Amino acid sequence: MATSISEIALTPAAAARVATIAERQNKPAILRLSVEGGGCSGFQYKFGLADAPAEDDSVAQTDGVTLVVDSISLDLVRGAQVDYVESLGGAAFQVKNPNAASGCGCGTSFSV
C-alpha cells in the first residue's frame, strides 16, 4: 500500500504544471519521479505521468496533484523538492536534491 510522506515535496509551480499536462493528456494528475543509473553524473531523474500509485510508492500531495516515488528511488531523493522553472533557456522540472554531491550542468543527473 502506498504511504504518504513529507520526505519529498512538490512545489505549487510544479503541481500547476503537472495538472495542466495531465488535463491535456486526459490522465490523473499523478507525477512519478524515479531515479535511474546513467547520465553524465551517475544517476538521472526520470519523470512521467502515472495512472495510480504503486503498492511500494511514497506519496506527497500539493494542490490536488500527487507526486509518487518508488522505495528504491526515495533513498536517493529523500528531502528533495520538485519544482517547475521557466527561464530564457527554457522550462523544465527541476529537483533540488540535498543528497546530491554533484550534478551536471543541465540538472538532469547527479551523483551521491
Walk along the chain (112 residues) and give the pLDDT tens digit of each residue: 455 556 889 999 999 999 999 999 999 999 999 988 876 667 888 999 999 999 989 999 999 999 999 999 998 899 999 999 998 878 889 898 888 765 555 455 444 4
Please give the pLDDT value at position 98.
85
Strand 3-4 vs strand 58-62: parallel, antiparallel, or unpaired? Answer: parallel
How far apart are alpha carbons 22 and 95 in whole angstroms?
A: 20
Return the DSSP state at 5: -
How far apart are alpha carbons 82 and 27 in whole angstroms?
A: 20
CB 49 within 8 A of CB 25: yes
Q: Is the pTM of this model over 0.85?
A: no
How far apart are alpha carbons 57 and 80 in whole angstroms?
A: 16
CB 108 within 8 A of CB 95: no
